[in-house]
């Protein structure tokens, strides 16, 4: 199609807007990166913008040697791996049987599950149940109570629906049972959705803090990195943010805080672009069937 | 006689046996997920009765005595509570602003991306725009402080150098609301385009060609072809957003809020946290949670019914 001059100008205007959007997304990250690599003095003198000033990696060395930080990072990583495995197992176990039209009671199971999307008991009843189960203040409370998301289960189920039924039927004729059909047909064909949902679950756990805040009490040993970060940021910035005059914040603390933010974001930022192709289809699947 | 009576019965019995022999593993797989939903999603509903009872730590919910005013004591107390009234107001206000600003934003961005002729550039833009979705609100709060704090924030440093007064983005109530809403857009606009971009691919290209033949320019094509193509998606998402108008996020207001802006940052979820988990007023906060859940369901049905009245498909 031949484009008129004015529409070509329009294309560049749109591209410019997109460029501004990209800058809006990237500049805050660059600012944090610059701060994490700057000297305390430069930060106190408000000299750091997008490029580190008074280059030093003291903050990173501190975070990597201080046991409170290293343990929190390691613990959150372990927790994320455990939660992702548990959640994926539960999601597969839930979604696969529900794809069988012949399954007796399928409607009942589906209704039972979908209803929880529309009506939830609320925070306090859940809290009281967890208390009665003896889970409060224990690390298990970060794993089990939210290990299965209905929304992600629906995404998985719609992906399974997309696999031709003839494959399953011919395997059944060959005498394969559901477990064999799942492991040798469905799972190998579902790599995109498995990757997508693993990413979603992992990001959710890595970024989550409200369950730790509400259910872990004072068991600080098991605070995930986000909650630790929150406490650090609040303690540093409470003076800065809550007073109009605003005292200058202690420089080294601020570089440490910036370095912690980098540690907490970089793992995700390294992974998600590679999975983009997959999660786009995953996110769309869920939306259509909701 | 007896055999004819028995024969169909035993045949159906045999059918059940062969069905179970073939599919019992499916039920085995479902045990854990169903147990999960029953234990962690349905059993908590049993505790909802605490909203109508006087909470006692030593009794089971069934044994607790009924609260005053035929059990509605805590609902009355909630609405008499100034913090709660503020929380309801703030929840509605922040959600409405999110709807007003945050809902159209991804539609506009999707339209822009759809018009971009540079494919590689488009892909890069998308990847970068998805990034904020993967950041936790704690991290975003950390960044925001670095950017917007009154003295050490990047924006205020720049403003200061240009000779302007610093702007208290985070500790003035009105400005905080603006910051809250804009950060929400920043975080979700890219991610929320995904669904619209997917819907755009299903628009028949012949429609564009026909429009071009009729001499339609870029804007007329967007108005007459692209937007009508997005209509079902927009309506569905609008219903869901309206249904969530009284539901409240916890992470975002909790992370971004501070003591100076409590009057606007306190929402229902943070109210439940402070009064329930920290203040141990379980009956009161269960009542609040129940109120919220019921209103959410009612709103969702109402929005769905409204959409259907206007001839749309709805969500069921």
CATH of residue A251's domain is 1.10.3720.10
When pLDDT is cut at 50, 70 and 90, the band that residue A186 belongs to is: very high
Rounded distance between C-alpha atoms, residue A149 and residue A113, angstroms:
10
Rounded distance between C-alpha atoms, residue A212 and residue B280, angstroms:
17
Under an 8 A CB cutoff, do A144 and B212 touch?
no
Secondary structure (DSSP) of B220-281: HHIIIIIHHHHHHHHHHHHHHHHHTTT---SHHHHHH--GGGHHHH--HHHHHIIIIIIT--
pLDDT for the residue numbered A54: 80
CATH number at residue B200: 1.10.3720.10
pLDDT tens sequence across A83-140: 999 999 999 999 999 999 888 899 999 999 999 988 888 899 999 999 999 999 999 9
pLDDT for the residue numbered B11: 79
More confident residue, B217 or B282: B282
Residue found by looking up tokens 């062969």 in the block: B18
Under an 8 A CB cutoff, do B36 and A229 touch?
no
Under an 8 A CB cutoff, do B37 and A112 touch?
yes
* Mutate which: B12, B18, B21, B30, vs A, most A CBs within 10 A: B30
Q: Considering only CA atoms, which of B121, B102, B117 is closest in space to residue B193?
A: B102
pLDDT tens sequence across B38-60: 999 999 999 999 999 988 888 88
pLDDT for the residue numbered A249: 45
- Is residue B132 domain-resident? yes
When pLDDT is cut at 50, 70 and 90, the band that residue A241 belongs to is: very low
Estimate to the nearest angstrom the gap between the alpha carbon of B217 and the chain centroid. 37
Decide if pLDDT at A269 tops 80: yes
Report, as an integer, the average pLDDT of B18-33: 90
Does residue B67 come out as left (phi exceeding 0), alpha (psi in the -120 to 50 range) or beta?
Answer: beta
User: CA of A30: which chain B residue's CA is closest?
Assistant: B143
Decide if pLDDT at A289 tops 50: no
- Is residue A9 domain-resident? no
Rounded distance between C-alpha atoms, residue A192 and residue A201, angstroms:
14
Q: Considering only CA atoms, which of A182, A169, A178, A192 is closest in space to residue A92?
A: A182
pLDDT for the residue numbered B237: 87
Decide if pLDDT at B3 tops 70: no
- Is residue B58 domain-resident? no
pLDDT for the residue numbered A286: 54
Q: What is the DSSP letter of B53?
A: B
Rounded distance between C-alpha atoms, residue B183 and residue B267, angstroms:
17
- Is residue A132 domain-resident? yes
Cβ atoms of A37 and A262 closer than 8 Å: no
- Estimate the share of chain A in helix, then strand, then coil, as percent rounded to the nearest 5: 75, 0, 25
Chain B (267-286) residues lying within 8 Å, Cβ to Cβ, of chain A = 269, 272-273, 276-277, 282, 285-286
**Which residues of chain B lie closer than 8 angstroms to A121, CB-CB?**
41, 44-45, 47-48, 289, 293
pLDDT for the residue numbered B314: 67
* Domain hosting residue B200, numbered range: 81-309
- Residue B66 pairs in a beta bridge with B53
**Which residues of chain B lie closer than 8 angstroms to A49, CB-CB?**
154, 157
- Is residue B104 domain-resident? yes
pLDDT for the residue numbered A246: 40
- Is residue B92 domain-resident? yes
**Which residues of chain B lie closer than 8 angstroms to A112, CB-CB?**
34, 37, 42
pLDDT for the residue numbered B180: 95
Residue found by looking up tokens 């991290």 in the block: B139
Report, as an integer, the average pLDDT of A37-43: 81
Report, as an integer, the average pLDDT of A185-202: 92
Number of domains composing chain A: 1
Under an 8 A CB cutoff, do B151 and A214 touch?
no
pLDDT for the residue numbered B288: 94
Q: What is the DSSP letter of B66?
A: B
Burial letters A200-220, b for 16+ CB under 10 A, else e? bbbbbbbbbbbbbbbbbeeee
Decide if pLDDT at B289 tops 90: yes
Rounded distance between C-alpha atoms, residue A43 and residue A55, angstroms:
11
Helix (H), strand (E) at residue B148: helix B137-148
* Mutate which: A121, A168, A242, vs B, most B CBs within 10 A: A121
Decide if pLDDT at A242 tops 70: no
Cβ atoms of A145 and A126 closer than 8 Å: yes
**Which residues of chain A lie closer than 8 angstroms to B240, CB-CB?**
290
Residue found by looking up tokens 């610093």 in the block: B166
pLDDT tens sequence across B157-196: 888 888 888 888 888 899 999 999 999 999 999 999 988 9
pLDDT for the residue numbered A251: 55
Under an 8 A CB cutoff, do B47 and A119 touch?
no
Q: What is the DSSP letter of B273?
A: I
Q: Considering only CA atoms, which of B104, B290, B79, B258 is closest in space to residue B172?
A: B258
Report, as an integer, the average pLDDT of A73-89: 96
Strand, coil or helix: what is B116? coil
- Is residue A18 domain-resident? no
Under an 8 A CB cutoff, do B128 and A25 touch?
yes
Average pLDDT, rounded, for chain A: 85
pLDDT for the residue numbered A285: 64
Q: A1-15, B121-135, B286-300: which range is least confident on average?
A: A1-15
Q: Considering only CA atoms, which of B238, B232, B230, B229 is closest in space to residue B304?
A: B238
Q: Considering only CA atoms, which of B276, B295, B296 is closest in space to residue B81?
A: B276
- Residue B53 pairs in a beta bridge with B66
Helical H runs in A119-224? 123-132, 150-161, 165-173, 178-181, 187-189, 191-207, 210-215
User: CA of A276: which chain B residue's CA is closest?
Assistant: B127
pLDDT for the residue numbered A290: 39
Decide if pLDDT at B202 tops 90: no
At B57, list the tokens: 């730590």
Under an 8 A CB cutoff, do B143 and A207 touch?
no
Q: A54-58, A161-165, A178-182, B252-256: which range is least confident on average?
A: A54-58
**Which residues of chain B lie closer than 8 angstroms to A120, CB-CB?**
41, 293
**Which residues of chain B lie closer than 8 angstroms to A145, CB-CB?**
40
Q: What is the DSSP letter of A26?
A: H
pLDDT tens sequence across A251-266: 567 788 888 889 889 8
**Which residues of chain B lie closer than 8 angstroms to A41, CB-CB?**
none
* Domain hosting residue A124, numbered range: 60-289
Report, as an integer, the average pLDDT of A56-61: 85
When pLDDT is cut at 50, 70 and 90, the band that residue A243 belongs to is: very low
Residue found by looking up tokens 């570089």 in the block: A255
Rounded distance between C-alpha atoms, residue B68 and residue B46, angstroms:
20
| A:B CB pairs within 8 Å | 276
Kindly state the percentage of chain A with pLDDT values over 90. Answer: 44
pLDDT for the residue numbered A88: 97
**Which residues of chain B lie closer than 8 angstroms to A31, CB-CB?**
143, 146-147, 154
pLDDT for the residue numbered B49: 92
Cβ atoms of B53 and B283 closer than 8 Å: yes
Helix (H), strand (E) at residue B187: helix B173-201
B299: Cβ contacts below 8 Å, ≥ 6 apart: B242, B243, B244, B245, B246
More confident residue, A67 or B313: A67
At B145, list the tokens: 């402080």
Cβ atoms of B264 and B176 closer than 8 Å: yes
When pLDDT is cut at 50, 70 and 90, the band that residue B284 belongs to is: very high
- Phi, psi angles (nearest 5°) of residue A135: -95, -20
Report, as an integer, the average pLDDT of A152-180: 90
Rounded distance between C-alpha atoms, residue A34 and residue A228, angstroms:
22
Q: B7-16, B84-93, B224-233, B241-250: which range is least confident on average?
A: B7-16
Number of domains composing chain B: 1
When pLDDT is cut at 50, 70 and 90, the band that residue B1 belongs to is: very low
């Amino acid at each position: 199609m031949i484009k008129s001059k004015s529409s070509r100008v329009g294309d560049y205007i749109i591209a410019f807007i997109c460029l501004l959007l990209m800058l809006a997304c990237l500049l805050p990250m660059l600012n944090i990166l610059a701060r994490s690599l700057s000297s305390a003095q430069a930060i106190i003198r408000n000299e750091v913008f997008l490029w580190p000033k008074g280059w030093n990696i003291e903050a990173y060395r501190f975070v990597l040697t201080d046991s409170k930080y290293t343990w929190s990072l390691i613990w959150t990583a372990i927790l994320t791996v455990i939660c992702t495995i548990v959640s994926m197992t539960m999601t597969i176990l839930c979604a696969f049987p529900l794809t069988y039209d012949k399954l007796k009671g399928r409607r009942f199971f589906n209704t039972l599950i979908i209803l929880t999307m529309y009506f939830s008991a609320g925070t306090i009843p859940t809290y009281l149940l967890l208390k009665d189960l003896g889970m409060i203040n224990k690390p298990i409370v970060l794993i089990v109570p939210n290990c299965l998301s209905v929304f992600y289960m629906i995404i998985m189920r719609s992906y399974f629906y997309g696999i031709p039924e003839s494959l399953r039927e011919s395997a059944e004729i060959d005498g394969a049972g559901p477990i064999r059909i799942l492991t040798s047909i469905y799972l190998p064909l579902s790599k995109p959705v498995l990757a997508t949902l693993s990413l979603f679950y992992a990001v959710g756990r890595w970024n989550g803090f409200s369950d730790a805040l509400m259910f872990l009490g004072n068991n600080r040993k098991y605070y995930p990195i986000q909650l630790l970060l929150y406490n650090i940021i609040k303690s540093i910035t409470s003076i800065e943010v809550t007073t109009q005059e605003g005292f200058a914040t202690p420089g080294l603390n601020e570089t440490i805080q910036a370095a912690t933010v980098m540690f907490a974001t970089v793992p995700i930022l390294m992974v998600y672009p590679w999975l983009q192709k997959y999660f786009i289809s995953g996110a769309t699947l869920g939306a259509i069937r909701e | 006689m007896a055999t004819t009576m028995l024969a169909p019965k035993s045949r159906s019995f045999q059918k059940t046996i062969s069905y179970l022999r073939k599919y019992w593993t499916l039920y085995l797989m479902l045990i854990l997920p169903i147990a999960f939903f029953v234990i962690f999603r349905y059993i908590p509903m049993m505790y909802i009765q605490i909203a109508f009872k006087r909470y006692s730590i030593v009794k089971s919910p069934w044994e607790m005595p009924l609260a005053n005013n035929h059990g509605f004591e805590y609902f009355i107390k909630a609405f008499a509570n100034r913090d709660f009234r503020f929380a309801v107001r703030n929840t509605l206000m922040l959600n409405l602003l999110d709807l007003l600003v945050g809902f159209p934003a991804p539609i506009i961005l999707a339209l822009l991306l759809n018009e971009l002729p540079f494919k590689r550039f488009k892909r890069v833009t998308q990847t970068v725009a998805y990034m904020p979705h993967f950041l936790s609100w704690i991290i975003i709060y950390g960044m925001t402080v670095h950017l917007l704090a009154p003295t050490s924030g990047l924006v205020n440093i720049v403003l200061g150098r240009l000779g302007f007064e610093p702007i208290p983005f985070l500790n003035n109530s009105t400005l905080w609301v603006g910051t809250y809403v804009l950060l929400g857009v920043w975080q979700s606009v890219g991610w929320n385009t995904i669904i619209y971009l997917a819907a755009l691919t299903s628009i028949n290209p012949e429609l564009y060609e026909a429009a071009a033949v009729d001499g339609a320019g870029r804007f007329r094509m967007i108005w007459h072809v692209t937007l009508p193509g997005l209509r079902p998606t927009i309506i569905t998402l609008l219903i869901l957003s309206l249904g969530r108008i009284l539901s409240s996020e916890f992470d975002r207001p909790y992370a971004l809020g501070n003591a100076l802006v409590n009057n606007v940052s306190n929402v229902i979820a943070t109210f439940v946290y402070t009064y329930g988990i920290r203040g141990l007023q379980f009956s009161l906060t269960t009542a609040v949670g129940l109120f919220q859940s019921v209103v959410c369901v009612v709103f969702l049905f109402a929005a769905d019914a409204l959409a259907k009245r206007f001839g749309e498909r709805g969500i069921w």
